[in-house]
Amino acid sequence: MSAIVARYDRHASLYERHWAPVIGPTALGILDIAGAWIPGAGEGVTIVDVGAGTGTLSREAVRRWPEAQVIALDPSGEMLALAAAHLRREGVESVRVVVAAADALPLPTGSVDVITSSFALQLVPDRPAALRELRRVLRPGGHLAYVTWLDRGDPFPPHEAFDEAVLDLDVDEPEEPDEVRAGDLASPGAATAQLRRAGFVRVGSRVATLRHAWTPEAYLAFKLEYDESALVASLARGDRARLERFARRRLAELSPDDFVWTAEVVLAWGAVPD
C-alpha cells in the first residue's frame, strides 16, 4: 500500500468532513462536460468514476443518469466504504464499488463508455501510464474527462497565519513518509499534450477557478483535524492547546475576505478514436 493510500484510509472520515465540501462543487463540473456524451437517462451507458473517493461524482452521476451503469473505483477501501454507506442511505443499488488504482483497472479492454475523475490524477505515481490505462478500458468512441490542480498557488493568508502559529510553538515537525505522485499540471497545454500522447483524440482543456469561503473556525478545524493531523498527533497535550491558542490569535487578525480561497484547476477531456 502506498503512503498516499494509507493516508486516505486513515483519514477518510476527516476528508469527507473537511475537504470533500471544498472541492465537491468544482468536481461536479466534470459531469457537465460528460453530459454531452451521455444520452437521455444513460440507458446502456457504462460510466466509471476513477478516484471516486467518498462518492461525490458517482452519487451525482446516478442521479443524473439513473439508467446508466456506474462503477466507483478508488485505491482506498476506507474512502469507498463511506461512498457505499452514502449510496445505501440514498437507496441506490446500481453503483458498483471496486477497490482499484487508476493505473491497474480490473475492467476488460474496450468495456467502458465514459470515464470521469476528479482530483485524483495528480496523486497517481505516473499520470501518462494512468491515462494509457484509462484509454485501454474505454471503447472506441468512448470519452474521458477529468479535473486536477494547476501548478500555481497564490499566498493564502490563513495558511500563512497557521504556519506562523507553528513557528510560535517552536517544536520540531514530524517527518512524513515520501509520497510518490505525478503532481499538479503545469498548464492546460500539458494536459492536452499528455492526452494526445496516451492516444486520445478530440482533446481539450480549460482553466477554471475553485472558490471556497472558509470561516475562521472551519479553517482551524481543517488544519488541526485533517491537514496538519500528523503534526498535531506528535504534540503533547499542552503543546496542542498552545498551538490552537496561537493559531486562533493569528487567524483572528485576518479579515473575512482573507478566508476566501481561490485556486486554479484544469478540466481536460478527450476521446478514443472510433
User: Can you give the pLDDT at residue 178?
Assistant: 75
Q: What is the mean pLDDT of residues 40-61?
A: 97
Task: Place 175 in a pLDDT band, splitting at 50, 70 and 90.
Answer: confident
* CA separation for the pair 19, 226 (Å, rounded): 8
In the block, which residue shows the cell 478540466? 267
Section 73-78 average pLDDT: 98
User: Residue type for 223, please?
Assistant: K
Report the candidate in 181, 170, 195 with the shortest Cα–Cα distance to residue 272.
Answer: 195
- Residue 189 banded pLDDT, cuts 50, 70, 90: very high
Strands (E), 25-85: 46-50, 69-74
Kindly report, residue by residue over 1-15, the tens digit of the pLDDT: 588 999 999 999 999
**pLDDT number for residue 141:** 98
Q: Where are the domains of the chain?
A: 3-153+178-213+264-271
Q: Does pLDDT of 256 surpass 80?
A: yes
Task: Give residue 197's pLDDT.
Answer: 98
**Least confident among 29-43, 120-134, 174-188, 195-209:** 174-188
pLDDT for position 1 = 57
Q: What is the per-residue pLDDT across 115-174, written as a single tens digit (0 to 9) for each? A: 999 999 999 999 999 999 999 999 999 999 999 999 877 899 999 999 999 999 998 888
Q: Tell me the angle at which helices 20-27 and 56-64 cross, rounded to the nearest 10 degrees.
A: 40
63, 178 in Cβ contact below 8 A? no
d(CA 226, CA 253): 23
CA 197 → CA 37, 139, 160, distances in Å?
22, 18, 39
Q: Give the homologous superfamily in CATH for domain 3-153+178-213+264-271.
A: Vaccinia Virus protein VP39 (3.40.50.150)
Alpha carbon separation from 179 to 105, 227, 241 (Å, rounded): 21, 15, 29
Q: How far apart are CA 23 and CA 38, in angstroms?
A: 24
